[in-house]
């Protein structure tokens, strides 16, 4: 089975909810570095994620961990404690400069919680740990209970392995802002470090309810629930409903946007689109090109001035039978680049399909002037002009097609029909 077939079969299985089959097919492409590989990798990860959720809900924690580990390995997760702690421990000249600026900002904005936090973080990064703790403690006295202050103070204590005060502050952060995913996440990590796996699982479960599409959170919940069960504290988990289609299209600024990431790949790697748009018609066109068109439309919201994206969206629309939409996208590409030969040809084809023969002739002529001096384009012009009764110019185009490609049957037949 070739690479496009693997993708088509994998997407078909994913859409019908057959995640094992989807993972098997898409996994064959997951090592590729181009956009087909990235697209396959994302949906392969989502397949593992879905199977992991199923295992979690049935209490199969070890199997769930395996699936989620695969998912994280495929597409990663932005929020990781290790990354934060590495930043905290870093001591560079850059942080020294940052600390100086943060101190000035904190003095100018005494009532700004974020300014105090930035100052404390800069102090911590430059090795002044006691001063960083004092900065946040003072801010708590002056500004009152603020989740952001408790959260960062808890992390500072945790980094120094002072787990009791760390737990106290992280719990208070959760109480101050029960919608803070970060506070629940770090409280879960801390309780895990303290060996309080039931408490950790509860914290991770609350975080998962707020961020149901966060792979790392689900993985951490799985590990803590498994550890609790092994220490005779079995957990009953109530997982939020996971809707893959919503995960792909959610427009909330707080949600992960994998489809946007794919769109960025499409904008930077046109070979992907060319590869899939060149596939012969097949049974899975609606599924496959529906995904491709969605990616391209998302890319256009961020790169509306990319003529290639308009052209590709036009071709994908045509594959879905949306010819008027395809024409609009092709026209958009031509507006951006009036000498874009492929877009002019596609625009001409859409005009012809929609019955606008004169417009089609005009666009094919523009394509020829822009450099598309190809036998098939001249033969197409000949056919359209013959259809409009423009026999003399039709003969000229058939003649040119034969000059470029002797014995071109289509052009020969066209010339013969004019002589009849």
Kindly report, residue by residue over 3-50, the tens digit of the pLDDT.
Answer: 566 777 887 888 788 999 999 998 888 887 766 677 788 788 888 888
Calpha distance 214→53 (Å, rounded): 12
Instruction: Determine the average pLDDT of the residues in 326-334.
Output: 95
Domains 3-76 and 243-340 share a fold: yes
**Tell me, what's the pLDDT at 236?**
60
Q: Which residue has the higher pLDDT, 170 or 68?
A: 170
| Second CATH level (architecture) for the domain 3-76 | Alpha Horseshoe (1.25)
**Tell me, what's the pLDDT at 12?**
80
3-state secondary structure the chain: CCHHHHHHHHHHHHHCCCHHHHHHHHHCCCCCCCHHHHHHHHHHHHHHHHHHHHHHHCCCHHHHHHHHHHHHHHHCCCCCHHHHHHHHHCCCHHHHHHHHHHHHHHHHCCCCHHHHHHHHHHHHHCCCHHHHHHHHHHHHHHHCCCHHHHHHHHHHHHHCCCHHHHHHHHHHHHHHCCCCHHHHHHHHHHHHHCCCHHHHHHHHHHHHHHCCCCHHHHHHHHHHHHHHHHCCCCCCCCCCCCCHHHHHHCCCCCCCCHHHHHHHHHHHCHHHHHHHHCCCCCCCHHHHHHHHHHHHHHHHHHCCCCHHHHHHHHHHHHHCCCHHHHHHHHHHHHHHCCCCHHHHHHHHHHHHHCCCHHHHHHHHHHHHHCCCCCHHHHHHHHHHHHHCCCHHHHHHHHHHHHHHCCCCHHHHHHHHHHHC
Instruction: Determine the average pLDDT of the residues in 224-240.
Output: 72
- Which of 108-112, 154-158, 258-262, 391-395 shows the lowest per-residue confidence on average (mean pLDDT)? 258-262
Q: Which residue has the higher pLDDT, 280 or 350?
A: 350
Q: Which two tokens stand for residue 340?
A: 């874009």
Instruction: Determine the average pLDDT of the residues in 100-109.
Output: 54
* Topology adopted by domain 243-340: 1.25.40
What is the pTM (predicted TM-score) of this model?
0.46
Per-chain mean pLDDT for the chain: 79
pLDDT at 264 over 70: no
**Tell me, what's the pLDDT at 255?**
36
**Tell me, what's the pLDDT at 73?**
78
Q: Which residue has the higher pLDDT, 108 or 282?
A: 282
Instruction: Determine the average pLDDT of the residues in 365-386.
Output: 93
**Tell me, what's the pLDDT at 282?**
63
- Which of 5-19, 233-247, 303-317 shows the lowest per-residue confidence on average (mean pLDDT)? 233-247
**Tell me, what's the pLDDT at 246?**
43
**Tell me, what's the pLDDT at 338?**
93
| Second CATH level (architecture) for the domain 81-213 | Alpha Horseshoe (1.25)
Kindly report, residue by residue over 184-222, the tens digit of the pLDDT.
Answer: 999 998 888 888 888 988 898 888 888 877 778 888 888
**Tell me, what's the pLDDT at 84?**
28
Every domain of the chain and the residues it spans: 3-76, 81-213, 243-340
pLDDT band, very low/low/confident/very high, at 347 (cuts 50, 70, 90): very high
């Amino acid at each position: 089975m070739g690479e496009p077939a693997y993708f088509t079969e994998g997407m078909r299985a994913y859409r019908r909810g057959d995640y094992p089959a989807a993972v098997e097919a898409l996994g064959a492409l997951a090592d590729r570095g181009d956009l087909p590989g990235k697209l396959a990798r994302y949906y392969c990860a989502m397949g593992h994620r879905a199977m992991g959720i199923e295992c979690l809900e049935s209490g199969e924690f070890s199997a769930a961990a395996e699936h989620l580990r695969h998912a994280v390995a495929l597409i990663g997760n932005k929020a990781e404690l290790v990354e934060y702690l590495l930043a905290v421990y870093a001591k560079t000249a850059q942080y020294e400069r940052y600390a100086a600026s943060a101190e000035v900002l904190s003095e100018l904005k005494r009532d700004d919680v974020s300014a105090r936090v930035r100052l404390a973080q800069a102090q911590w990064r430059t090795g002044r740990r006691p001063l960083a703790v004092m900065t946040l403690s003072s801010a708590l006295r002056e500004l009152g209970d603020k989740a952001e202050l408790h959260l960062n103070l808890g992390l500072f204590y945790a980094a120094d392995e002072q787990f009791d005060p760390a737990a106290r502050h992280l719990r208070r952060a959760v109480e101050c802002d029960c919608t803070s995913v970060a506070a629940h996440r770090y409280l879960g990590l801390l309780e895990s470090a303290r060996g309080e796996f039931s408490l950790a699982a509860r914290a991770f479960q609350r975080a998962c309810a707020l961020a149901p599409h966060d792979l790392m959170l689900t993985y951490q919940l799985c590990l803590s629930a498994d550890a609790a069960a092994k220490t005779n504290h079995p957990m009953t988990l109530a997982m939020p409903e996971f809707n893959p289609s919503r995960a792909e299209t959610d427009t909330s600024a707080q949600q992960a946007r994998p489809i946007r990431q794919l769109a960025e790949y499409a904008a930077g790697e046109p070979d992907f689109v060319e590869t899939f748009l060149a596939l012969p018609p097949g049974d899975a066109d609606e599924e496959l090109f529906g995904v491709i068109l969605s990616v391209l439309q998302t890319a256009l919201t961020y790169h509306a001035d990319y003529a290639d994206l308009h052209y590709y969206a036009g071709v994908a629309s045509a594959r879905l039978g949306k010819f008027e939409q395809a024409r609009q996208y092709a026209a958009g590409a031509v507006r951006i680049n009036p000498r874009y030969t492929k877009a002019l040809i596609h625009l001409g084809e859409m005009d012809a399909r929609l019955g606008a023969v004169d417009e089609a002739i005009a666009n094919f002529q523009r394509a020829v002037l822009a450099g598309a001096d190809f036998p098939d384009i001249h033969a197409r012009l000949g056919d359209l002009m013959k259809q409009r009764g423009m026999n003399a110019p039709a003969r000229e185009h058939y003649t040119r097609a034969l000059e470029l490609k002797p014995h071109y049957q289509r052009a020969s037949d066209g010339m013969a029909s004019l002589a009849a």
